[in-house]
Amino acid sequence: MGKHRKKISLRWWVRTYLLAAKRKCSLLLTGPFDPYSKPPEGVELSPSISHFAECETAALRLSWNRANLPDPLEWQSAVRTKLAQLLGIESRAFKPEARYHEDSILPNGLRRRKVYLKAHEESTAG
């Protein structure tokens, strides 16, 4: 079958299994871990969590059923205008600002800088 098969040394196999066993022992002793540190207070890295909660109570003001517009093209234009406004496409007046930064030196002598940016102004949709 495999005349051109690459031979893998026994040493490599043993090393691989030892590393896997070491990792499993470590997980049994310490439990699962997250290598990323928790974000500072007031910094939201997952907007989906708040969006799911907001969707439950959304007024759906741009719904076709609630628009009371006889012309679908007029409704479509209004929705596109509102979408551009919500996405910030119409105005780039707001410049991102640093909300949090942290400088640290790693053990190997490298410098590390964390910066969280505020990408847009908070506003209520509507």
- Arithmetic mean of pLDDT, 113-119: 82
49 has pLDDT over 80: no
Q: Which two tokens stand for residue 27?
A: 């997980």
pTM of the model: 0.30
Q: Summarize pLDDT for 58-68 with one digit per residue, the tens.
A: 877 788 877 78
**H helices within 1-126, ranges in order?**
10-30, 47-56, 64-67, 72-87
User: How crowded is residue 103: how many other Cβ atoms within 10 Å of its Cβ?
Assistant: 9
**Mean pLDDT, the chain, as a whole number?**
79
User: How crowded is residue 48: how many other Cβ atoms within 10 Å of its Cβ?
Assistant: 8
Q: Summarize pLDDT for 97-111 with one digit per residue, the tens.
A: 787 788 888 888 889
Long-range contacts (CB closer than 8 Å, 24 or more residues apart) made by 97-100: 99/42, 99/43, 100/40, 100/42, 100/43
Q: For residue 62, what are the contacts with CB-CB under 8 A and spacing of at least 6?
A: 78, 79, 82
Contact 99, 114 (CB under 8 A): no
Q: What pLDDT is stored for residue 125 in this prediction?
A: 44
40 has pLDDT over 50: yes
